[in-house]
A = this chain, B = another copy of it.
């Protein structure tokens, strides 16, 4: 077991359980000289903080970050940046009744099979709170990218059956509605849909889209560490994600070569593409166009309806899940997807530094 690290050079290691003392991340390999403060990170954490809308759990957490290392006089030093977020509102009593029963749609059963027992309080390590470390790291990665002119942005494309078509996006409205949709009107519809499901003690899923602009061509490492591949790992490692696609994705499977190929064109001394069915990657490397990926998020498995299941003794039983749960995971996962994308890009930017002798000479020969 050694799966709590991600990235080769910009490498993050997360730790922490839902109801333990806290959650955190160690970022090893952040280049020295990046301006970084707790405020920078807090702004990201606040976007996933619970208790902020009627569509989110009422668990009360300030999720305040403390920088424990790696920053001196406002800049990263090149040594590990350790970030700590204390848990505060741990009502473990909510979970006593499910300690020995496997919740459908949750990790309870396979965790018990794998490790012999499990920390049942709030899902332990498999809780959504695990993503705090990812978001804290994503904040740092995003700052790094920004210094190089690269921006990453995620938003909600669909909630249940309410989809927004790309041509209708109003990016400026994303932060104006609690569902982070690029269309306030659609968000209102989606809100009504969620409310109806809540009344039935049910939940729903949705689709998150993430875009990145300003990428140089050539990021990604053939063949297993392609940009697509590492994004795939990064995104599918987020709980509740069941699918990921890049560019036209599954729709490309039904297209033809003549329609799906993006012709190159030269304009103003740059090489561009006339379309972007590829979603910004060719041969596993960034192609200089906008990166576009979409993520399928399943409905919240914790629902208040009575469900059939099995207990640890292998006996059939029923379960009623209390506690505080989001009726839809999507809105709070938006910043998680954005963060994992940013971390992946930061790592590949660092890896790409060593891709040619020319790069090496640029750095070493004018010293």
User: Cα distance A282–B239 when bound, in Å?
Assistant: 9
CB atoms of A264 and B310 under 8 A apart: yes
What does the 1/0 interface line of A238-255 toward B look like (CB < 8 Å)? 010111111111101111
Interface residue A165 (Cβ < 8 Å from any Cβ of B): no
CB atoms of A113 and B264 under 8 A apart: no
CB distance from A12 to the nearest CB of B (A): 8
What does the 1/0 interface line of A154-178 toward B look like (CB < 8 Å)? 0000101100000000000000000
Q: Looking at the complex, which of A41-49, A53-61, A68-76, A181-189 is the stretch in contact with chain B?
A: A68-76
Q: Which residues of B contact A204 (CB under 8 A)?
A: 255-257
Interface members, chain A 269-309 (any B CB < 8 Å): 269-271, 274, 278-279, 281-288, 296-303, 305, 307-309
CB atoms of B109 and A282 under 8 A apart: yes
CB atoms of B253 and A158 under 8 A apart: yes
Q: Which residues of B contact A4 (CB under 8 A)?
A: 26, 28, 79-80, 222-224
User: Cα distance A75–B118 when bound, in Å?
Assistant: 10
CB atoms of B202 and A257 under 8 A apart: yes
CB distance from A349 to the nearest CB of B (A): 7
User: Cα distance A288–B79 when bound, in Å?
Assistant: 21
User: Cα distance A245–B232 when bound, in Å?
Assistant: 10
Interface residue A51 (Cβ < 8 Å from any Cβ of B): no
If A16-B69, A239-B283, A239-B284 are given as contacts, then 11 extra A-B residue pairs at C-beta distance below 8 Å, sorted by A number, are: A1-B30, A1-B222, A2-B225, A13-B28, A34-B357, A77-B119, A78-B115, A147-B360, A228-B241, A229-B232, A232-B236
Output the nearest chain B residue to A121 by Cβ-Cβ distance: B72
Known contacts A104-B261, A250-B207, A308-B265; is A11 also within 8 Å of B20 by CB?
no
CB distance from A236 to the nearest CB of B (A): 4
CB distance from A16 to the nearest CB of B (A): 5
CB atoms of B228 and A355 under 8 A apart: no
Q: Which residues of B contact A239 (CB under 8 A)?
A: 223, 283-284
Q: Which residues of B contact A148 (CB under 8 A)?
A: 360-361, 364-365
Partner among B205, B263, B285 whose Cβ is within 8 Å of the Cβ of A111: B285
Interface members, chain A 8-45 (any B CB < 8 Å): 8-11, 13-17, 20-24, 26, 28-34
A-B contact pairs, 28 of them (CB 8 A): A1-B351, A5-B5, A5-B11, A15-B28, A16-B82, A20-B69, A22-B68, A24-B82, A68-B84, A105-B257, A105-B282, A109-B264, A111-B283, A126-B283, A160-B256, A201-B258, A226-B237, A229-B233, A239-B283, A243-B243, A243-B252, A252-B298, A255-B298, A255-B299, A257-B301, A261-B301, A264-B309, A266-B310
CB atoms of B1 and A29 under 8 A apart: yes
Counting contact residues on chain A (CB < 8 A from B), the size range is 35 or more
CB atoms of B241 and A243 under 8 A apart: no
Interface residue A331 (Cβ < 8 Å from any Cβ of B): no
Partner among B77, B287, B300, B305 whose Cβ is within 8 Å of the Cβ of A110: B287
CB atoms of B102 and A264 under 8 A apart: yes
Q: Which residues of B contact A80 (CB under 8 A)?
A: 4, 13-16
CB distance from A34 to the nearest CB of B (A): 5
What does the 1/0 interface line of A106-124 toward B look like (CB < 8 Å)? 1111110111111100001
User: Cα distance A241–B22 when bound, in Å?
Assistant: 35
CB atoms of A359 and B363 under 8 A apart: yes
Interface residue A66 (Cβ < 8 Å from any Cβ of B): yes
CB atoms of B253 and A249 under 8 A apart: no
